[in-house]
Amino acid sequence: MKIVIVGTGIAGLTAYHFLHRILSPLIPDLEIHAYEAYKSPSIGIGGTLGLAPNGLYTIKLISESAHARILESGFPCSKFEFRNSKGKVLGLMPTGPPDRYPGTGGEVMHSRAAIYEEILRVLETQGAQIHYNKTVTAVTPKDGAVEVTFADGEVVEADLVIGADGIKSIVRRAAFPSVEARFEGLVGVGGVIPTSAIPKSEQPREIPYDYKNANYSPTVMTFGKNGFFGYSPINSKTGDEGRYQWWSTAESDSEDQDIPIEEIERQLLERHKDWVSPQGEKVIEGIIRFGMQQHKESSEAERSKRVLVLPNYYMQIMDRYNSTDGRILLMGDSAHGQGVSLASEDGYVYAALLAHEIQQAKAAQSSDYKDALKNAGEYYTQMRKPRNDKIMAAAARAGGMKKNLSWWEEMSRDFFFGLFLRFAPESIHDSAFGYKADVEVENFLKSKA
Ligand SMILES: Cc1cc2nc3c(=O)[nH]c(=O)nc-3n(C[C@H](O)[C@H](O)[C@H](O)COP(=O)(O)OP(=O)(O)OC[C@H]3O[C@@H](n4cnc5c(N)ncnc54)[C@H](O)[C@@H]3O)c2cc1C
């Protein structure tokens, strides 16, 4: 059986790992090839993200040592502090405390690059076949196979093609042409700065941050009437080694990422000029000025010092992630656009379902995997869609709070969001964060038996 994976972001890498590990003992002639448009691994590229307990759980299924290193090098962040732009603390929200999601280590703020590099390292020891500088331009279903065409003219044929090629997926466009990812009208701008650029009053008051007893969080999310500004430590180091991520999200008419830094600076300062911390300090303005200066003084190669512009996309809810014959599948952002934690689950779920279906075929003395692919594709959609749809709906609601608001809308948001934060139960994220991909597959298959 020949499997082609298009894209080697976190979805593509995790899919590769699990398919290889779970299917190799079952399929002697298994061949997996991953193709990536980047010229080389995207080491060092990207900003910061929150890795939720469910994502950490899946990474632990990949490698306990990768999981341990990610926990160790990130910032354990079990609460977010929400404020408004006038310096009022609206409340604290528990995110993913380690004791609520045991074995995961709890939510961490981390660089996307570090997570990617840890998973890539596991794949390298597995001998994964990753082909760089290979941009897929077309995916065409054939009778009993799928043809993949590259920008350099090469054409390969596979039994199964997995589209892990991100929010603007070419595989999705080929298999589900009516589905679109639309620019949401929000753009995030951000970067990484040293902890010393953050006023002491905003830094963690103790290292490690005492998430259980602290009545504050150094991960601060501030909402104004014309956007949002966040900052958080991304490691637990102090002094020159400490790092903070900052990001501003606001409405924009354009998804253009190629904006002169002076224009970005002008817009950010204009937007956040009156935003203050509870102490009345202009912390946000200070962060913007530092981040802009750092960017201007850095070279193109000093990626970690440069400002990133990331447009947000609204991904249409799909009816299915599998073609009817199960030979084309979508994973990660190409299917749901919900980032790293959900993306990492997709690969495990599908690989385990396909392995089960192949075992069934073998038990029936069949070496034709046509039905196995078809059934596994259907099951994959059945398992993933209800979960993803729910999370996509919650993300769409949260995005609305970052848009421009009238005076009245701003007041209502502060009031109702404050109320929500006061009464939100500890269990609020259980269905999202408590997901254990292996247990879920087992339960699903039992329900089908
Ligand atoms: C370089 C980079 C930096 C990022 N930085 C951040 C960040 O700072 N904050 C954040 O929240 N999220 C960031 N993300 C997105 C985040 O990593 C994803 O939302 C999440 O991990 C889900 O990943 P994915 O693998 O589904 O998609 P992605 O991470 O988008 O990966 C898709 C991969 O497919 C490749 N690809 C796309 N089209 C083709 C094609 N036609 N042929 C071959 N390959 C193709 C892309 O080059 C990419 O490597 C970043 C993604 C990338 C690729």
Nearest residue (by CA) to ligand 1, atom 52, is 46
Q: Residue 201 has what pLDDT?
A: 93
Burial label, 161 (beta-carbon count in 10 A; 0-12, 13-18, 19+): buried
Q: Tokens standing for 340?
A: 């790293």
Per-residue HEC secondary structure of 8-69 comes to CCHHHHHHHHHHHHHHCCCCCCCEEEEECCCCCCCCCCCCEEEECHHHHHHHHHHCHHHHHH
Reference 304, options 409, 377, 391, 234; nearest CA is: 234
Neighbours of 149 (CB within 10 A): 16
Decide if 189 contacts 308 (C-beta within 8 A). Answer: yes
Residue 143 CB contacts under 8 Å (≥ 6 apart), including other chains:
none
Residue 300 pLDDT exceeds 90: no
Q: Tokens standing for 7?
A: 């894209």
At residue 447, what is the residue type?
S
Strand pairing category for 181-194 and 145-150: unpaired
Q: Residue 256 has what pLDDT?
A: 87
- Claim: this prediction has a pTM higher than 0.85: yes
Q: Residue 405 has what pLDDT?
A: 84
Residue 268 pLDDT exceeds 80: yes
Nearest residue (by CA) to ligand 1, atom 18, is 339
CA of 164 to the centre of ligand 1 (A): 9
Q: Measured from the CA of 35, which atom of ligand 1 is nearest?
A: 43
CA of 166 to the centre of ligand 1 (A): 5
At residue 178, what is the residue type?
S
pLDDT per position as a tens digit, 163-214: 999 999 999 999 999 998 999 888 999 999 999 999 999 999 998 888 889 9
Residue range 119-136: mean pLDDT, rounded: 97
127, HSE (Cβ side, Cα atoms, 13 Å): 4
CA distance 249 to 231: 12
CA distance 85 to 284: 10
Residue 376 pLDDT exceeds 90: yes
Confidence of residue 396 (pLDDT cuts 50, 70, 90): confident
Nearest residue (by CA) to ligand 1, atom 3, is 46
CA distance 164 to 8: 7
The DSSP secondary-structure symbol of 322 reads B
Q: Tokens standing for 430?
A: 């259980």
Choosing from 340, 344, 391, 392 the residue with most ligand 1 atoms within 8 A of its CB, the one to mutate for a pocket test is 340
> For residue 53, is the peptide bond before it cis, meaning its omega torsion is within 30 degrees of 0?
no
Nearest residue (by CA) to ligand 1, atom 19, is 339
